């Protein structure tokens, strides 16, 4: 059994989607970011960086923060969605790191400047719009001739998809990136993606791409 401490963000949705894909039993503990519940002493005991998601594996007693580390741990533990072959494994992990170090942080800042405060901060808005579109271009080129990012469906796809699901927040026209759009829609057809997106609760219909 996994205890999942999460909220309705792309990073939180990565983990709930993976848990659904793996078919694991898990208990959801909503952490309301609007009410600063991630800053409580109780939460900080398991999530010292006061950010979601965090998991606690009841079987091992391990608590783990950082969505990328959680995806890696769960896929590795259960022998799914992360190849055993070294070359294939590192291919997946490099794209996981790309999301953690590039797509996630840049898109997250775009949420603030491009989506929530449009026209208020001209320089960061223009800079972030340009960078987010560059990253969509990287993803589009990677997906040329590929069904998934790394051959088979893996945690690399699961890491990137929830961020792309906010393409409207990024001011991105998904039609400009047809390979990304096709990949996005392909994953959207998966039952686990649909269920995991709405954890810990329904906020909005999933953008159709």
Q: What tens digit of pLDDT does each residue of 27-64 get?
A: 999 999 999 999 999 999 999 999 999 999 999 999 99
Is omega for the bond preceding 15 within 30 degrees of 0, making it cis?
A: no
Report the distance separating Cα 74 and Cα 117, nearest Å.
Answer: 36
pLDDT at 150: 98
- What DSSP element (H or E) covers 150? none
State what percent of residues in the chain have pLDDT above 70.
Answer: 100
CA dist list (Å): 90 to 47, 93, 149, 167? 27, 5, 13, 27
Q: Is 106 helix (H, G, I), strand (E, B) or coil?
A: helix
95 and 181 both lie in a single domain: yes
- The phi, psi pair for 26, rounded to 5°, reads -150, 150
Task: Give the structural domain span for 160.
Answer: 86-190
Q: What tens digit of pLDDT does each residue of 96-132 get?
A: 999 999 999 999 998 988 888 887 888 988 899 999 9
98 and 186 both lie in a single domain: yes
Asked whether residue 197 is assigned to any structural domain, the reply reads no
22 and 102 both lie in a single domain: no
pLDDT at 112: 86
Local structure of residue 37 (DSSP, 8 states): G
pTM of model > 0.85: yes
Give the distance, in angstroms, between the CA of residue 130 and the centroid of all CA atoms in the same chain.
Answer: 21
100 and 169 both lie in a single domain: yes
150 and 93 both lie in a single domain: yes
Report the distance separating Cα 47 and Cα 107, nearest Å.
Answer: 23
180 and 93 both lie in a single domain: yes
Is the pLDDT confidence value at 135 over 90?
A: yes
């Amino acid at each position: 059994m996994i205890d999942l401490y999460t909220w309705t963000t792309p990073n939180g949705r990565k983990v709930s989607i993976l848990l659904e894909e793996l078919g694991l039993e898990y208990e959801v503990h909503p952490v309301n970011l609007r009410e600063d519940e991630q800053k409580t002493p109780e939460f900080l005991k398991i999530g010292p960086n006061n950010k979601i998601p965090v998991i606690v594996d009841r079987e091992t007693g391990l608590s783990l923060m950082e969505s990328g580390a959680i995806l890696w741990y769960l896929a590795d533990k259960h022998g799914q969605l992360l190849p055993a072959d070294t070359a294939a494994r590192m291919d997946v992990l490099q794209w996981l790191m790309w999301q953690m170090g590039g797509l996630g942080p840049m898109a997250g800042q775009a949420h603030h400047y491009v989506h929530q405060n449009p026209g208020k901060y001209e320089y960061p808005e223009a800079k972030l719009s340009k960078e987010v579109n560059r990253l969509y271009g990287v993803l589009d080129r990677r997906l040329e001739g590929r069904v998934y990012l790394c051959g088979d469906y893996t945690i690399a796809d699961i890491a990137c998809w929830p961020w792309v699901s906010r393409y409207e927040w990024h001011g991105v026209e998904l039609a400009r990136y047809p390979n990304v759009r096709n990949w996005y829609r392909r994953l959207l057809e998966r039952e686990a993606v649909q269920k995991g997106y709405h954890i810990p609760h329904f906020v909005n219909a999933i953008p159709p791409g």
